[in-house]
């Protein structure tokens, strides 16, 4: 790209409020060094310092044991955390089991969620640790595990303020997650309803850099988009040909990388793929249909992801404050899969 075009892009980004590369800062504080309003309330980075000071070292150790052996758990645990926070907030309700199979984890979008054993292993270890028994919420454990799982595979790190309480309610009927088939207008509303903005949408979509889906979710898009045996015209034709070789019309199980060529590395390559019209889902491709999200994608492509790690960290901190329970709300579960 010519220098004048690059400068024009940077000016446009400044006008729409999309950040390009800046030095790392503290997501819990604003540009003047004052505490971010979204980081106030009852959450605190040192919440367990006097009660369970070993917490973060235990979470790191257990998470490393699992993710180092099975790196794909990083994407799974990050997805679990996102799915938890978007239904009843970050309260660990996705972890609850129901004998009637009517909890959040029983909803169709959550049937493929995995990694519960990692959260359970952390909880068990904490319950055996002096001072930590009955102290740390499963909601906080999930928030830390998601962060540390990403770190194990070389992804960005972010601070996790703590003090969330566990929810007692988990209903399949309440699961209404952002859809992979949604357009950008719908996705922006989904995020706005949770106190997140357009930048958070496009930044957190970047987690698809380590995502894996299946042929079942894209078959209509590549084989029969309008019922006439066609494919979505928003897709790169060469990419469609590649996908058709992997996904036959009746195949619903074969896995498909969401960031082909870089699916095992947490980086900004996802934005290159989307810019080339190779986004796997409609929800990826539609990010090019909005000026804010499209400009962010262009910025990451041009700067080779100069700000992505910091931006992702900032948005993950914001996500962790969505509709949380604190104080005397909820409970501290003894076992993450069951209310006390």
Does residue 326 form part of some domain? no
CATH number of the domain that residue 247 is part of: 1.10.420.10
326 is annotated as contributing to ligand binding: no
The residues that are catalytic are 83
Alpha-helix residue ranges (DSSP H) falling in 35-72: 55-67
Pair 210, 149 in one domain: no
Q: How many residues does the chain have?
A: 340
Examine the domain organization and report whether 133 and 202 are in the same domain. Answer: no
Does residue 307 contact residue 206 with C-beta atoms inside 8 Å?
A: no
25 among annotated binding-site residues:
no
Residue 73 CB neighbours (<10 A):
22
**Same domain, yes or no, for 154 and 204?**
no
Last residue of a domain, one of 174, 195, 226: 174
When divided into structural domains, the chain yields a total of 2
Strands of the chain (E only): list them: 212-214, 255-257
User: Known binder of ligand: residue 250?
Assistant: no
Is 267 labelled as part of a ligand binding site? yes
Q: Are residues 206 and 289 in the same domain?
A: yes
**pTM, to two decimals:** 0.90
**Whether residue 109 is found in the same domain as residue 127:** yes
139 and 254, same domain (yes or no): no
Look at residue 42 in the predicted model and tell me its pLDDT. Answer: 79
* Residue 28 belongs to a domain: no
Does 148 carry a binding-site annotation? no
In a domain, residue 331? The reply is no
Range(s) of the domain holding residue 69? 54-174
CATH code (residue 125): 1.10.520.10
Instruction: Provide the pLDDT for residue 41.
Output: 55
Low-confidence ranges of the chain (pLDDT < 50): 1-4, 7, 11, 14-27, 29-40
Are 168 and 262 contained in the same domain? no
The answer on 162 and 71 residing in a single domain is: yes
**156 in a labelled binding site:** no
In three-state secondary structure terms, 256 is: strand
190 and 311 together in one domain: yes
Please spell the DSSP secondary structure of 194-214, one letter per residue.
Answer: TT--HHHHHHHHGGGGG-EEE
Distance CA 85, CA 333 (A): 17
Check the annotation: does 259 bind a ligand.
Answer: yes
Domain annotation covers residue 67:
yes
Q: What is the dihedral of CA 288, 214, 117, 107, to 10 degrees?
A: 80
């Amino acid at each position: 790209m010519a220098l004048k075009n690059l400068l024009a892009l940077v000016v446009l980004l400044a006008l729409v409020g999309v950040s390009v590369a800046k030095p790392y800062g503290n997501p819990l504080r604003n540009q003047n060094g004052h505490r971010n309003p979204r980081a106030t309330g009852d959450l605190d980075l040192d919440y367990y310092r006097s009660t369970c000071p070993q917490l973060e070292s235990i979470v790191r150790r257990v998470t490393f044991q699992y993710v180092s052996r099975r790196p794909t758990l990083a994407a799974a645990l990050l997805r679990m955390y996102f799915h938890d926070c978007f239904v009843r907030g970050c309260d660990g309700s996705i972890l609850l089991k129901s004998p009637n199979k009517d909890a959040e984890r029983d909803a169709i979008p959550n049937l493929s969620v995995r990694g519960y054993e990692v959260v359970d292993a952390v909880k068990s270890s904490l319950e055996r640790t002096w001072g930590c028994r009955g102290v740390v919420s499963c909601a906080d454990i999930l928030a830390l595990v998601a962060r540390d799982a990403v770190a194990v595979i070389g992804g960005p790190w972010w601070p996790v303020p703590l003090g969330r309480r566990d929810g007692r309610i988990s209903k399949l009927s309440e699961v209404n997650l952002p859809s992979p088939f949604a357009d950008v207008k719908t996705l922006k509303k989904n995020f706005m309803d949770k106190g997140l903005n357009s930048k958070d949408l496009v930044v957190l979509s970047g987690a698809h850099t380590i995502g894996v889906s299946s042929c079942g979710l894209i078959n209509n898009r590549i084989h029969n988009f309008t019922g006439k045996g066609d494919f979505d015209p928003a897709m790169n034709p060469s990419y469609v040909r590649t996908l058709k070789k992997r996904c036959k019309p009746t195949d619903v199980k074969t896995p498909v990388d969401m960031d082909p060529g870089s699916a095992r590395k947490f980086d900004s390559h996802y934005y290159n793929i989307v810019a080339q019209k190779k986004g796997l889902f409609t929800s990826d491709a539609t990010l090019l249909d909005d000026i804010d999200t499209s400009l962010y994608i262009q910025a990451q492509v041009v700067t080779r992801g100069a700000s992505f790690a910091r931006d992702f960290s900032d948005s993950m901190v914001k996500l962790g404050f969505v509709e949380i329970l604190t104080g005397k709300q909820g409970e501290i579960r003894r076992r993450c899969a069951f209310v006390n």
